[in-house]
């Protein structure tokens, strides 16, 4: 529908007179009058296609039966949607559609009785009727048959007899059930721009497929699952759901696997996740997820290797102990190592509530500021500085005319953000990509730069310098003096990017009115993070001289911003108050003296063992294998799985998955979002805050005691505003300085930043845990890189 | 294969998506058929996905996806030939050379295609091998004819 500002016209539908915006289709108009027209190929959010013809209507003075989804309304149009004649044609159309689809299920007399037994035989991978169909209950054909009251199908059934594909990771394909509605083809091409699916062949042999029948992986499928979400039949179906049955409940929550924080609907039956889709119940409507949100949460939640009881390490063998024993043991040891000898490393895949509890426990109960997140960022002050920039909304991305994306493999790290870049590209925005390797975003770019790995900062310097020379931008004196010293030849050798290419970029930036700089993770994971930040900020200010420029920082995990803001940091208390200056506020609030000295970062806690007098660690999640952990005197790990790191742990506690948790996160847009539990964790697992609370009680500490997650949230919000004010950001200029830019071309030390593993959950490698993901990653590296 | 990209660059300097069909025709002229490699190169050149190109190409009967054989057989299934048992001949032919229409024998000897009318209905059923018309076909004649083409 058009905006409400447009002109309205008057139409009559089934005798009802209504006003609708000009440009609406007959289908839109009917919907606004509350009139149902059956549809099949139509899907809100996709371009109408007019393929199934179920939505036919009669319009006065129009010959034939136009399709409602493609016909625009005109003034004084008179539409009829339900005449007996229409219904009978629709019935015939549906019969024809069904003649190519196993339909015994749809018109079966025993449908009702059958319902009770149907989930028992779902392991069969080829669907021949509703009993075997993964889509049963979610199938839109079932609804249509019901609506049109179809009792009999007079055409002989043609079973296509094409091979069903069940060796594809994450979802099965059985095109014997396909009714060629084209939703999957359209969403894959028009919304995801992945270009995997197409209609191939013609006439009777038309099918959905890929070039030369290559596999989905070979065709570059990104496993976003969008096609599965929109398919009205059982033709495309999630593997994980096909054995579980028809979902009975649906919970709206947030994916925390990356900082986008997509809304997800977790459809469940009993205490199991059936599937995850963008909308409750039915799977359709294209609000979208990526591979991680769509397919992975169910697999980790119900993973067979998950631990559910506290375990103690007896000479390399794990023995189950009770919670009381575990808490007693932990307390006994924690008593010995308070203050600087103790520390906590948490995960940015955790809620604000757990993060707050962890840091408060560390500070208040254990008297230590040794708190950090893993994986960590090199520049500890990064997030405080990032806060100086106005956050950019994910859906605002499409409104920029020029986007410069640097140092990011966003199609893997932040797929939904990258999807908006693709969209912007297709809407005519100019996209400039710069990265150390070829990646999928290059397909959606006007300028593609591939600089030598590790030379990010010099590349940024080249841009900054050229903005000064070519665009005549006035810089503060210290910066323009510094820029004078640049050895442009040396810089070009170091990055592999010639001056002419740099000029092309600055020339594309020059006419821009609205520029977005998207700064990837790799810029901040190196030891040059601070330099990179300063250079980027200088570029940002330079561009703001002639355009409206915004900056987006692609931080990694779902709650990275929230967890840092809430104090999971050795130098900052909640609200980014420095330990040195903010101790008073929080000392008062917590009724205890917080040591006014910064703690150790994760890196510092672990790398100098045992010389640094650091003796005891509580770890939430997993760490990359760290031999030094052996030097710890007492090490508690709370994690969903036993990992390589666990062999150094004295006690291993089970943990909740985010699908079972309740709490909040702050995403990349700095929006506060709520996580809701879709399933219950096994009863023998306790949430982190509760474990800490039990320990604190054992230690007779009165200032740390919680009974519910909500209590923590209330305590936080009483002291701290979590809804971050976005309007004032632009005015507070971040502090800037010029990094050391004397760059001799050859002598410079190159720091290689390995591509981070984006398939981690709380430090656990999901590709090790999920065979389908492993298959996918092992098979990649093909043409799409 | 990048010679293909070169000629594409020469003939279609605009690099526009609307050129897809002419590009496919050009490639077929050059190479005799559309290979999966060619689709990959066109995909890169025009920035259209392989699946979409394949989808478009398979929509038109003019495009072939197998390398042509040393000899091309066109078997007529037009009205007259159909009435005279053209589809019998086709079945026999298929059995004889072991391939379906639209493909090429493994040894590269024949490719097979069905056509709608060769314009000589009076002598139906007919087939054309390379440039020779063979008329009033029978299953027995078929073998003999084929043995003339190595
Ligand atoms: S999963 Fe996504 S990328 Fe793959 S075919 Fe479906 S829509 Fe296309
Ligand atoms: S696979 Fe599903 S969505 Fe795709 S065309 Fe067939 S029925 Fe429609
Ligand atoms: S884009 Fe990020 S938040 Fe959204 S589904 Fe994927 S991993 Fe989850
Ligand atoms: S819904 Fe309108 S033609 Fe399919
Ligand atoms: S029908 Fe076969 S030649 Fe005309």
Domain holding A355: CATH number?
A: 3.40.50.740
> Rounded distance, CA A385 to CA A532, Å?
13
Of B83, B88, B114, B124, which is best to mutate to test ligand 5, by the most ligand atoms within 8 angstroms of its C-beta?
A: B124
**Which atom of ligand 2 is least distant from the CA of A180?**
5
Residue A589 lies in a domain: yes
Nearest CA in chain A to B38: A211
DSSP string across A469-520:
HHH-----HHHHHHHHT--HHHHHHHHS--HHHHHHHHHHHTT-SEEEEEE-
CB contacts of B50 in chain A (<8 Å) are: 195, 210-211, 214, 219-220
- CB within 8 Å: A202 and B51: no
A438 shares contact with chain B (CB less than 8 Å): no
Nearest CA in chain A to B47: A443
- CB within 8 Å: A198 and B59: no
Which CATH number does the domain housing residue A60 bear?
3.10.20.740
Considering the domain architecture, whether residues A411 and A538 belong to the same structural domain is answered as yes
What mean pLDDT comes out for the span A221-238? 91
CB contacts of A220 in chain B (<8 Å) are: 49-50
Distance A408 CA to ligand 2 centre (A): 33
CA atoms within 13 A on the CB side of A556: 25
The chain-wide mean pLDDT, for chain A, equals: 88
How confident is the model at residue A784, as a pLDDT?
40
**Top-confidence residue, A90 or A129:** A90
Last residue of a domain, one of A247, A282, A301: A301
Residues near A714 by Cβ (< 8 Å), separated by ≥ 6? Answer: none
Cα dist from A575 to A238, A357, A583, A666, A732, whole Å? 42, 14, 12, 13, 17
Considering the domain architecture, whether residues A247 and A194 belong to the same structural domain is answered as yes
Last residue of a domain, one of A44, A60, A82: A82
* Delimiting residues of CATH 3.40.30.10 domain(s) in chain B: 71-147
- CB within 8 Å: A196 and B51: yes
Which ligand lies nearest the alpha carbon of B122?
5
Which range scores top for mean pLDDT: A284-293, A470-479, B100-109? B100-109
Burial class (CB in 10 A: 0-12, 13-18, 19+), A781: exposed
**Which backbone phi and psi does B58 adopt, to 5 degrees?**
-75, -15
Considering the domain architecture, whether residues A293 and A396 belong to the same structural domain is answered as no
How confident is the model at residue A2, as a pLDDT?
41
> Rounded distance, CA A778 to CA A83, Å?
56
Q: Which residue CA neighbors atom 7 of ligand 2 most closely? A: A178
Quickly state the pLDDT bin for A696 (edges 50, 70, 90). Answer: very high
List the single residue in B51, B58, B61 with the smallest CB-CB distance to A219.
Answer: B51
> A215 and A166 in contact (C-beta within 8 Å)?
no
Q: Which fold has domain B71-147?
A: Glutaredoxin (3.40.30)
Distance B118 CA to ligand 3 centre (A): 58
Considering the domain architecture, whether residues A590 and A519 belong to the same structural domain is answered as no
pLDDT at B129 over 90: yes
Give the least confident one: A126-140, A583-597, A746-760: A126-140
CB contacts of A196 in chain B (<8 Å) are: 49, 51
Considering the domain architecture, whether residues A193 and A215 belong to the same structural domain is answered as yes
Which ligand lies nearest the alpha carbon of B136?
5
List the single residue in B36, B52, B54 with the smallest CB-CB distance to A189.
Answer: B52
Nearest CA in chain B to A185: B52
What mean pLDDT comes out for the span A673-696? 96
Residue A543 lies in a domain: yes
* Delimiting residues of CATH 1.10.10 domain(s) in chain B: 3-59
Considering the domain architecture, whether residues A448 and A516 belong to the same structural domain is answered as yes
Q: Which residues pair with A617 in a beta bridge?
A: A343, A635
As a three-state string, the secondary structure of B67-135 is: CCCCEEEEEECCHHHHHCCHHHHHHHHHHHHCCCCCCECCCCCEEEEEECCCCCHHHCCCEEECCEEEC
pLDDT at A731 over 70: no
pLDDT digits (tens, 9 = 90+) for A445-501: 999 999 998 899 899 999 999 998 888 888 888 788 878 888 888 889 989 999 999
> A694 and A284 in contact (C-beta within 8 Å)?
no
How confident is the model at residue A738, as a pLDDT?
55
Q: Is the CB of B81 inside a 6 Å radius of any atom of ligand 5?
A: yes
> A490 and A533 in contact (C-beta within 8 Å)?
no
> Rounded distance, CA A333 to CA A330, Å?
5
Considering the domain architecture, whether residues A213 and A273 belong to the same structural domain is answered as yes
The chain-wide mean pLDDT, for chain B, equals: 90
Distance B123 CA to ligand 3 centre (A): 67
Q: How many residue pairs from chains A and B have C-beta atoms closer than 8 A?
A: 54
> A557 and A258 in contact (C-beta within 8 Å)?
yes
B interface test, pick of A211, A221, A446, A448 with most B CB neighbours within 10 Å: A211
How confident is the model at residue A124, as a pLDDT?
44
What is the Cα Rg of chain A in Å? 29
Q: Is the CB of A179 inside a 6 Å radius of any atom of ligand 2?
A: yes
Q: Which residue CA neighbors atom 4 of ligand 3 most closely? A: A262
CB contacts of B48 in chain A (<8 Å) are: 195
**Which atom of ligand 4 is least distant from the CA of A50?**
3
Q: Which residue CA neighbors atom 2 of ligand 2 most closely? A: A231
Considering the domain architecture, whether residues A536 and A636 belong to the same structural domain is answered as no
What mean pLDDT comes out for the span A260-279? 87
Look at residues A115, A156, A158 and name the one whose alpha carbon lies nearest to residue A137. Answer: A115
Q: Is the CB of A675 inside a 6 Å radius of any atom of ligand 3?
A: no
Residue A199 lies in a domain: yes
Q: Is the CB of A226 inside a 6 Å radius of any atom of ligand 1?
A: yes
Residue A465 lies in a domain: yes
For chain B, helix (H) and strand (E) counts, in that order, are 7, 4
> Rounded distance, CA A337 to CA A343, Å?
9
A194 shares contact with chain B (CB less than 8 Å): yes
Collapsed DSSP state (helix, strand, coil) of residue A341: helix
Q: Which residue CA neighbors atom 5 of ligand 3 most closely? A: A293
Residue A148 lies in a domain: no
Distance A413 CA to ligand 3 centre (A): 9
> B50 and A219 in contact (C-beta within 8 Å)?
yes
A203 shares contact with chain B (CB less than 8 Å): no
- CB within 8 Å: A202 and B65: no
Distance A52 CA to ligand 4 centre (A): 5
pLDDT at A617 over 90: yes
Considering the domain architecture, whether residues A294 and A332 belong to the same structural domain is answered as no
How confident is the model at residue A718, as a pLDDT?
93
Considering the domain architecture, whether residues A169 and A273 belong to the same structural domain is answered as yes
Give the least confident one: A314-323, A420-429, A487-496, A664-673: A487-496
**Top-confidence residue, B138 or A728:** B138
Which ligand lies nearest the alpha carbon of A784?
1
Residue A437 lies in a domain: yes
Last residue of a domain, one of A50, A82, A114: A82
pLDDT digits (tens, 9 = 90+) for A337-395: 999 999 999 999 999 999 999 999 999 999 999 999 998 888 888 888 888 888 999 99
Which ligand lies nearest the alpha carbon of A276?
3
**Top-confidence residue, A703 or A426:** A426
pLDDT above 90 coverage of chain A, percent? 63
The total of structural domains in chain A comes to: 4
Distance A760 CA to ligand 5 centre (A): 65
Considering the domain architecture, whether residues A669 and A565 belong to the same structural domain is answered as yes
Residue A603 lies in a domain: yes
CB contacts of B51 in chain A (<8 Å) are: 195-198, 200, 209-211, 219
- CB within 8 Å: B53 and A211: yes
How confident is the model at residue A108, as a pLDDT?
63
pLDDT at A44 over 90: no
Give the least confident one: A412-416, A552-556, A579-583, A713-717: A579-583
A interface test, pick of B55, B66, B116 with most A CB neighbours within 10 Å: B55
Look at residues A296, A303, A260, A257 and name the one whose alpha carbon lies nearest to residue A276. Answer: A296
List the single residue in B49, B56, B60 with the smallest CB-CB distance to A195.
Answer: B49
Which ligand lies nearest the alpha carbon of A222?
1
Query: Token pair for residue A284?
Result: 């359709």
Question: Which architecture, in CATH terms, is B3-59?
Answer: Orthogonal Bundle (1.10)
**Which atom of ligand 2 is least distant from the CA of A181?**
8
Residue A770 lies in a domain: no
Query: Token pair for residue B142?
Result: 């078929």
> A374 and A601 in contact (C-beta within 8 Å)?
no
Which CATH number does the domain housing residue A423 bear?
3.40.228.10
pLDDT digits (tens, 9 = 90+) for A106-163: 666 665 555 555 443 434 455 655 555 666 667 888 888 889 988 888 888 788 888 8
**Which atom of ligand 3 is least distant from the CA of A260?**
3
Nearest CA in chain A to B65: A212
Of A54, A81, A182, which is best to mutate to test ligand 4, by the most ligand atoms within 8 angstroms of its C-beta?
A: A54
Considering the domain architecture, whether residues A408 and A543 belong to the same structural domain is answered as yes
Containing domain of residue A410, as a range?
A: 383-554+740-753
Query: Token pair for residue A231?
Result: 């398919």
Nearest CA in chain A to B55: A200
- CB within 8 Å: A212 and B55: no
Which CATH number does the domain housing residue A183 bear?
3.30.70.20
């Amino acid at each position: 529908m058009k905006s409400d500002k447009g002109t309205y016209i008057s139409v009559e539908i089934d005798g009802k007179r209504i006003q609708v915006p000009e440009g609406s289709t007959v289908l839109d108009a009917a919907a606004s009058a509350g009139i149902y027209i059956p549809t099949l190929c139509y899907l809100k959010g996709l371009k109408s296609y007019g393929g199934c013809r179920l939505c036919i209507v009669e319009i006065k003075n129009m010959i034939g039966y136009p399709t409602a989804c493609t016909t625009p309304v005109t003034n004084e149009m008179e539409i009829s949607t339900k005449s007996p004649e229409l219904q009978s044609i629709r019935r015939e159309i549906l019969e024809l559609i069904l003649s190519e689809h196993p339909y015994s299920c749809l018109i079966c007399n025993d449908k009702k009785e059958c319902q009770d037994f149907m989930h028992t035989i779902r392991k069969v991978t080829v669907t021949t009727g509703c009993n075997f169909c993964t889509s049963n209950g979610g199938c839109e054909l079932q609804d249509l048959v019901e609506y049109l009251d179809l009792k009999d199908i007079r055409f002989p059934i043609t079973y296509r007899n094409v091979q069903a594909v069940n060796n594809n990771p994450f979802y099965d394909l059985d095109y014997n059930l396909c009714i060629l509605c084209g939703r999957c083809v359209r969403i894959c091409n028009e919304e995801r721009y992945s270009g995997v699916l197409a209609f191939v062949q013609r006439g009777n042999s038309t099918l959905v497929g890929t070039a030369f029948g290559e596999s989905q992986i070979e065709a570059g499928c990104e496993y976003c699952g969008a096609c599965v979400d929109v398919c009205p039949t059982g033709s495309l179906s999630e593997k994980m759901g096909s054995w579980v049955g028809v979902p009975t409940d649906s919970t709206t929550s947030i994916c925390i696997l990356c900082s986008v924080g997509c809304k997800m609907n977790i459809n469940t039956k009993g205490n199991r996740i059936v599937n995850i889709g963008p909308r409750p119940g039915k799977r359709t409507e294209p609000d979208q997820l990526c591979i991680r949100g769509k397919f992975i949460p169910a697999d980790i939640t119900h993973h067979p290797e998950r631990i559910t009881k506290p375990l103690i390490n007896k000479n390399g063998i794990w023995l189950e102990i009770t919670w009381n024993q575990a808490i007693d043991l932990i307390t006994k040891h924690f008593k010995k190592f308070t203050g600087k000898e103790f520390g906590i490393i948490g995960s940015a895949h955790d809620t604000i509530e757990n993060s707050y509890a962890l840091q408060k426990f560390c500070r208040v109960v254990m008297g230590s500021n040794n708190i950090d997140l893993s994986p960590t960022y090199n520049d500890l002050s990064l997030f405080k500085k990032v806060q100086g920039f106005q956050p950019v909304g994910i859906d605002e991305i499409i409104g920029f005319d020029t986007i410069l994306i640097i140092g990011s493999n966003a199609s893997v790290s932040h797929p939904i953000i990258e999807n908006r870049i693709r969209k912007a590209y297709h809407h005519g925005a100019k996209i400039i990509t710069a990265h150390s390797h070829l990646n999928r975003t290059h397909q959606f770019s006007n300028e593609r730069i591939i600089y030598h790995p590790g030379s990010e900062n010099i590349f940024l310097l080249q841009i900054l310098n050229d903005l000064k020379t070519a665009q005549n931008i006035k810089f503060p004196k210290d910066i323009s003096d510094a820029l004078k010293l640049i050895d442009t030849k040396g810089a070009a050798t170091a990055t592999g990017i010639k001056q002419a290419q740099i000029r092309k970029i600055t020339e594309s930036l020059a006419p821009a009115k609205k520029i977005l700089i998207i700064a990837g993770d790799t810029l901040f994971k190196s030891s040059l993070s601070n330099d990179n930040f300063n250079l980027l900020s200088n570029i940002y200010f330079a561009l703001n001289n002639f355009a409206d420029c915004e900056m987006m920082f692609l931080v990694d995990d779902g709650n990275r911003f929230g967890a840092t803001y809430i104090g999971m940091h050795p130098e900052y208390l909640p609200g980014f108050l420095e330990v040195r200056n903010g101790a008073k506020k929080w000392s008062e609030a917590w009724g205890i003296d917080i040591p006014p000295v910064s703690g150790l970062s994760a890196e510092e806690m672990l790398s100098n063992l045992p010389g640094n007098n650091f003796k005891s660690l509580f770890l939430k999640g997993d760490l990359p294998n760290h031999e030094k952990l052996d030097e710890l005197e007492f090490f508690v790990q709370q994690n969903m799985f036993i990992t390589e790191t666990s062999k150094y742990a004295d006690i291993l506690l089970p943990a909740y998955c985010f699908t079972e948790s309740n709490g909040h996160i702050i995403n990349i847009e700095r929006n506060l979002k709520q996580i809701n539990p879709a399933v219950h964790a096994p009863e023998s697992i306790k949430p982190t805050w509760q474990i800490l609370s039990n320990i604190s009680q054992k230690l007779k500490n009165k200032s740390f005691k919680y009974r519910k997650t909500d209590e923590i949230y209330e305590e936080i919000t009483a002291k701290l505003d979590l809804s971050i004010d976005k309007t004032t950001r632009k005015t507070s200029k971040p502090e800037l300085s010029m990094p050391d830019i004397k760059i001799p071309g050859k002598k410079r030390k190159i720091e290689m930043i390995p591509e981070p593993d984006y398939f981690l959950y709380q430090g656990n490698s999901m590709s090790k845990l999920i065979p389908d993901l492993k298959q996918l990653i092992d098979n990649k590296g093909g043409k799409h890189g | 294969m990048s010679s293909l990209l070169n000629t594409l660059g020469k003939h279609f300097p605009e690099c526009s998506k609307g050129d897809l069909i002419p590009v496919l025709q050009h490639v077929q002229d050059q190479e005799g058929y559309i290979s999966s490699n060619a689709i990959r190169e066109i995909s890169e050149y025009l920035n259209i996905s392989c699946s979409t190109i394949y989808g478009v190409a398979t929509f038109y009967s003019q495009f072939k996806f197998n390398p042509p054989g040393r000899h091309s057989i066109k078997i007529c299934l037009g009205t007259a030939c159909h009435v005279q048992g053209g589809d019998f001949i086709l079945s026999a032919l298929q059995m004889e050379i072991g391939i379906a229409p639209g493909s090429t024998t493994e040894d590269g000897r024949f490719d097979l295609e069905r056509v709608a009318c060769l314009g000589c209905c009076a002598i139906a059923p007919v087939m054309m091998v390379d440039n020779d018309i063979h008329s009033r076909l029978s299953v027995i004649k078929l073998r003999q004819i084929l043995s003339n083409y190595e």
